[in-house]
């Protein structure tokens, strides 16, 4: 330590940056403000660092996002033992919950061309579970495609809604239908007023219906168990 007595205050030995710290800070900010809001400068600021310093831990913004996505994958829970239908249901529910926490991640989970280790691990586990349950390879491909498409697709619709409170849903629906003559869309209006805006309705509950239908169909399609 030269410069001992200089007023050159370097008092706080600040926590050094690391890829992990960068990714986690990015995750937190994206959760709070959205992925689009997140810029290298803002991320740097949150870490008490200039933007360019981040590039020593992350090769560019895309790489940052790749890393964040893999953190999201790591949050997905998948029970490795037990019956396949229960496992698949638990997985789907977990994916939905995780994507609820990280709404920005939604379109990006399957479209990364450089999947991270957690991503691959997860896929391998799921495929393994189905194989162990006696699914032939071709059916595994079918099942995987079906379940993933549904789960991600549902999460996508889900994300559109503010979904915090029923009042907000009602407000949004009203706002949309108010911009157009209601009688041009009678069926849409019926569904909205007679069903969606009724007290007990919660779009999230649709998820279980579809999921059960899928699992039942898959079972029928040929699991040996």
Partner DNA sequence: AAGATACGCTTACGATGTAAGACTGTCAAG
Partner DNA sequence: CTTGACAGTCTTACATCGTAAGCGTATCTT
Query: Whose Cβ is closer to DNA: residue 55's or residue 150's?
Result: 55
Please compute, for residue 40, the number of CA atoms within 13 A of its CA located in the half-sphere on the CB side. 15
CB 87 within 8 A of CB 129: yes
Only one residue has tokens 């029923």, namely: 166
Cα–Cα nearest to 211, from 86, 119, 127, 125: 86
Task: Pick the binder of a second copy from 191, 202, 222, 225 (CB under 8 A).
Answer: 191
Kindly state the smallest distance separating residue 93's Cβ from a second copy, in Å: 14
Task: Pick the binder of a second copy from 4, 8, 164, 209 (CB under 8 A).
Answer: 209
Task: Pick the binder of DNA from 56, 101, 132, 198 (CB under 7 A).
Answer: 56
Overall residue count recorded for the chain in this entry: 225
Query: Whose Cβ is closer to a second copy: residue 55's or residue 203's?
Result: 203
Task: Pick the binder of DNA from 24, 28, 31, 53 (CB under 7 A).
Answer: 53
Residue 57 CB neighbours (<10 A)? 16
| Distance from C-alpha of 140 to C-alpha of 117, rounded to nearest angstrom | 21
Print burial letters for 146-155: b (CB count within 10 Å at least 16), e (below 16).
ebbebbbebb
**Cα–Cα distance list, 170 to 164, 180, 197 (Å):** 11, 16, 6
Task: Pick the binder of a second copy from 4, 81, 164, 194 (CB under 8 A).
Answer: 194
Interaction site with DNA (CB under 7 A): 1-3, 8, 10, 16-18, 38-42, 44, 48-53, 55-57, 60-62
Interaction site with a second copy (CB under 8 A): 106-107, 110-115, 117, 120-121, 123-125, 127-128, 131, 137-138, 140-142, 145-146, 148-154, 156-157, 159-160, 172, 176, 179-180, 184-188, 190-191, 194-196, 203, 206-207, 209-210, 213-214, 216-218, 221
């Amino acid at each position: 330590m030269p410069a001992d007595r200089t007023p050159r205050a370097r008092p706080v030995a600040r926590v050094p940056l690391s890829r992990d710290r960068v990714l986690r800070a990015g995750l937190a900010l994206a959760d709070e403000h959205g992925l689009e809001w997140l810029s290298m400068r803002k991320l740097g600021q949150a870490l008490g660092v200039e933007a360019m310093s981040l590039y020593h831990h992350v090769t560019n913004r895309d790489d940052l996002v790749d890393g964040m996505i893999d953190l999201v994958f790591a949050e997905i829970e998948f029970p490795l033992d037990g019956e396949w239908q229960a496992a698949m249901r638990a997985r789907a529910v977990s994916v939905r919950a995780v994507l609820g926490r990280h709404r920005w991640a939604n379109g990006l989970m399957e479209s990364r061309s450089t999947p991270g280790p957690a991503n691959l691990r997860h896929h391998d586990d799921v495929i393994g579970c189905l194989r162990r349950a006696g699914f032939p390879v071709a059916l595994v491909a079918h099942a995987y495609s079906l379940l993933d498409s549904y789960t991600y697709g549902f999460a996508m619709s889900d994300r559109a809604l503010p979904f915090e409170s029923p009042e907000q849903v009602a407000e949004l629906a009203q706002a949309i239908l108010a911009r157009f003559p209601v009688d041009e869309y009678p069926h849409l209006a019926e569904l909205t007023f007679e069903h969606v805006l009724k007290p007990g309705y919660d779009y999230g509950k649709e998820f279980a219906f579809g999921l059960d239908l899928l699992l039942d169909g898959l079972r029928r399609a040929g699991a040996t168990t």
